[in-house]
Amino acid sequence: MKNAMHIKNPARKIALTIAVSAALAGTPAFADETSCSPYTPLIKGQEDLVYVWTLGVKGVGDGSDKLVTVDVNPKSKTYGKVIHKLSLGGRGEVHHVGLSDDRRYLWGGALDSNKIYIFDIGTNPAKPKLTKTITDFVQKTGYVGPHSFIAMPGRMLITPLSNNKDHGGETGVVVYNNKGDYVGHHAMPKEHGGDGYGYDAGINPQKNVFLTSSFTGWNNYMMDLGKMVKDGEAMKRFGNTSVMWDLKTMKPLKVFQTPGAPLEVRWSWKAGDNWAVTTTALTSKIWVYKQDAKGEWQVKDVATIGDPAKIPLPVDISITADGRGMWINTFMDGTTRYWDMSDPMKPKETFTKQIGSQVNMVSQSFDGKRVYFTTSLLGNWDKKGKDDEQFLKMYNWDGKDLKLAFEIDFYKAKLGRAHHMKFQARDLSTLKPLDMASSLPALLAQKQ
């Protein structure tokens, strides 16, 4: 296996970079319609609802983690309002959610309690109902911190962040079936340059591959951020690799060196594109994965986000459905940045706007005309004091400017820290498959 790009001693660089900043760093997130699994039917028109996976805060409302449902259809009388909240009755560092392969269920994970919650969002999408809580995740897998949930046919691919032996970053990928029963797990590779770390995953069925990225373990993501950045040993414990896997065999194909915590993974959905993208939080780079002329997967550092010396800390990204543009949020300056990805090997930043004192997640509608932002990274990593804004904001995007349509202050509404978002339609019969497709006659004619 070859290392595509390399920065000497990335851990030292990361520690140095963080240390020179008095500001607090952030972590990951992902969301939006174009972040759905390719197997999940999509809302290609107006979304009706957005679910916000919300961290409970002591003294705010009931103090518990909750799933908050917001009406986002402009034709509705309750547009821009919270119409439902489902409290979990405690705090477990909830983080990300994922839709099932039929979009009738929403899975949500908690990074500290290691619980996985399955909500019925099909029977009455406006009133999600908790149908199952998985509590055997650590027992079955030995892993900790269920993070991403990516639907596969009849099952859910889960990427945890840590393990139960040392609470470090070594982890794996896990499969549960749609009923919430354990199916199997596979360790992240430590051979051929692999560091064993994990974070997100993105599937490309056309190529029979999935790509994983890497972050850090429980010891770090549950630590107070100010304390962590002063801990040189802790700062060495971030993932520096990403891995291409064979989807059918669930075996690693190639390890890439992508130093500085590669986070969200997205594949371009434009038919025939077959390139993927990630950003590294601590080195502020955009990386693109593509096959070379011989069919071997390669990765290239294609651009720098902001001024790395100022620690912009890129977190969530959201790619357009046609693969020609991408939103990148930088947490530290609370700014969203639009990048022209028409040539993915030479992307260009074309628009920036500050959304708040901090911003983490970005979700766009399938047509790219509506863009949603939330704020929370992790309970112990969010900014402090007046900079700890917690909101959901929705903007209309006309290709030139973002215009605020509505916002909900999650502290004033006594909800908590607004984190991951997923959209839903009230009428599931309107959902459409992704359709990265050729024609059936062509299939009939082809020789395999």
Partner 1 sequence: MGFPAMSHQTRLLIRGGFFFTGWLMACLASAAPIMDFVPPPAGSYRLERIQPASEGAVLDADGRRRRLSEFTQGRVTLLAFMYSSCADPNGCPYALTVMHMVKSELEKLPETRGRVRFVSLSFDPVRDTPQTLALYGRDHSGAGQHLAWDFLTTRSRRELLPILNGFGQDVGVDIDKATGKPVGTYSHVLKVFLIDRQRTVREIYTTDYLLPAMVLNDIKTLLIEEGVRLK
Q: Which residues bind partner 1 (CB under 8 A)?
A: 38-39, 41, 101-102, 104, 122, 152-155, 175, 177-179, 181, 183-184, 205-209, 246, 248-251, 271-272, 274, 428-429, 431, 433-444, 447-448
* Closer residue to partner 1 in complex, CB, 398/429: 429
CB of 164 to partner 1, least distance (A): 22
Contact of 314 with 328, CB cutoff 8 Å: yes
Using CB atoms within 10 Å of the CB of residue 180, give its burial: 0 to 12 exposed, 13 to 18 middle, 19+ buried.
Answer: middle
Contact of 25 with 229, CB cutoff 8 Å: yes
Closest among 330, 334, 327 to 307, alpha carbons compared: 330
Cα→Cα distances 360→27, 176, 419, Å: 8, 28, 8
How far apart CA 272 and CA 268 sit, in angstroms, is: 9
* Closer residue to partner 1 in complex, CB, 178/335: 178
* Closer residue to partner 1 in complex, CB, 125/168: 125
Contact of 115 with 132, CB cutoff 8 Å: no
CB of 109 to partner 1, least distance (A): 20
**Would you give the DSSP letter of residue 11?**
H
CB of 246 to partner 1, least distance (A): 7
CB of 30 to partner 1, least distance (A): 20
CB of 70 to partner 1, least distance (A): 24
* Closer residue to partner 1 in complex, CB, 5/436: 436
**CB-based burial, 37-46: b 16+ in 10 Å, e otherwise:** bbbbbbbbeb
* Closer residue to partner 1 in complex, CB, 181/401: 181
Radius of gyration of the chain (CA): 20
CB of 277 to partner 1, least distance (A): 19
How far apart CA 97 and CA 383 sit, in angstroms, is: 23
* Closer residue to partner 1 in complex, CB, 361/434: 434
- Residue 421: which residues within 8 A CB-CB, separation 6 or more? 31, 32, 50, 51, 52, 53, 361, 363, 372, 374, 392
CB of 295 to partner 1, least distance (A): 9
* Closer residue to partner 1 in complex, CB, 345/443: 443
